[in-house]
Amino acid sequence: MAELAEILTEKSDSRDLNDFKQKYKHEVSAVNSQLEKKSNIKDVCALLDMKSNIDDVNKALTEMHCDVGAKVAKEDFQVSLME
């Protein structure tokens, strides 16, 4: 009988189970809140698809270079106003 009482004292009871449940409920909640802050793979892929590639950047720079090259210099503009 004493042996049975000793075995029972080593076993968990409902209080231990409730303590375990509360502790890990808090832990799971913390992990969930961290996961909510992270972006999902679909969002990352959509952003990468929208990112400019090197050809797009080079084309934009070439167009800007042409536009700047066609611009009238300030001095030339002032001279033409004086005429």
pLDDT at 60 over 90: yes
Are 9 and 34 in a shared domain?
A: yes
Q: What whole-number distance in Å separates Cα of residue 83 and Cα of residue 69?
A: 24
Predicted pLDDT of residue 70: 82
Q: What whole-number distance in Å separates Cα of residue 54 and Cα of residue 64?
A: 15
pTM score over 0.85: no
Q: What whole-number distance in Å separates Cα of residue 40 and Cα of residue 60?
A: 31
Q: Which domain holds residue 64?
A: 40-83
Are 45 and 76 in a shared domain?
A: yes
Dihedral of the alpha carbons of 59, 62, 67, 68, in degrees to the nearest 10: 140
Could you report the per-residue pLDDT of 7-53, keeping only the tens digit for each? 777 777 788 888 888 889 989 999 999 988 888 888 889 988 888 88
Into how many domains does the chain fold?
2
